[in-house]
Chains A and B, each alone.
Chain A
């Protein structure tokens, strides 16, 4: 069940449906000549190289109500750090297959430095602060993905 009601006021969406990266970038950049750089990140469901059964699917659970607030807080922190023209974050929930897109972050700014940095910051913080959980389904059954220390380290280097 989608929890986000699309609207111009919100740059954050949590949804089951796939997203169109090109359409999202075009929508941000259209008619806004102050934008000189758009950086985007797309996260995909990855095959598990070490898993003999292979990954058949992944289910993303979230905390409806908190998810949007957490993402908006992360975007707000990015806007406080860099001069940004626009930010769009889409995170999917529900059952996804290998190769499916999970998350999109698009950052528009005057110059590439701000766009690249803010895009990475948003992803690093999303990985440790936004209430999503992945459950992998393999031939051997389902198991919850463990949080990675590397993600905490990536977020910590921004020193928020």
Chain B
């Protein structure tokens, strides 16, 4: 009796080792068969069968979306991993992709980083899943960011037309008008700081995203990308407009040297020492979760203009959900991406303060008339939608923007601590980016 059990166990062990080997082989087979069209029925079948989907995303509204999705498809388990953002997120993602291990099934990728991952074949083309048929649902800007030729590397989750968030309580207290141009912005910064030396117009310790967005709005087009041909040049009229203004803010110490998304930053936004925040329309959801104590203090306004009357706006951030090429359960992953960014998830996310990239919702009266209790009942979406319509065209990011952004503080950051001027900082950022581009095999000039 005993001997037979032992033999049985041994047999089982051998069998399970064989099974492991078989699944390992199965895993590698999946990669090559990625181009076959996947029908809606296949996806439905996968949803019925169930499984788990690991999602790397910091977008706060996805929590409710994941819960709803699991309610609708009880056999599917969504593991939302959301504590990382920014550099750390991309480092982890790039590591997982190059190690071919621990790659998530779904990953949030900001528009500026899309082409880098697409270029290195880190993301699945979602066209075989039918993603290209959803094109007409989205606004053109975000759709351009996720598609390249015939390939579609993700579904836009949100978009980031910029607005100027300002602490109305602070502005009212010192009877200062909300600036409509960047010159007025500098003026307001001086007045605020004079009235209370603890108050700064903004927190900025050097942020690549903000700088590129402001350059974009000022009419600068430093990056030109044509396949693997890239040119980088920060020496244009738009960039000069930006550096002239921002240099004043830095020189006169009118911006608080606080890095975004740190404890100090949240505290400053909450206690009125950071008076404005130029940011993307996805910001309200973060205000509501991160700066609860200042509810009712903040409002949104259109971005200040570089010349009076100019309506040109710009984008900041905005991201898509993508399906990494090495992820498992691609049908389920796609099903979740579609649910969150094109299906029922969109309504859930809007309810929690997200700013969609889908045209229908953007033009919907209910959306435009939505009152934000956090902004004292202001219909902030009207401002964001207006900004979205005025985003200046023809901007492009580098195909290695993620790397360029990682060395922003090494170069432009020096201007923030007085070691150099902004224009010189931009020049050394340009040089370092060109050097990297060449090393990576791009044709750069």
Do A and B actually bind? Answer: no
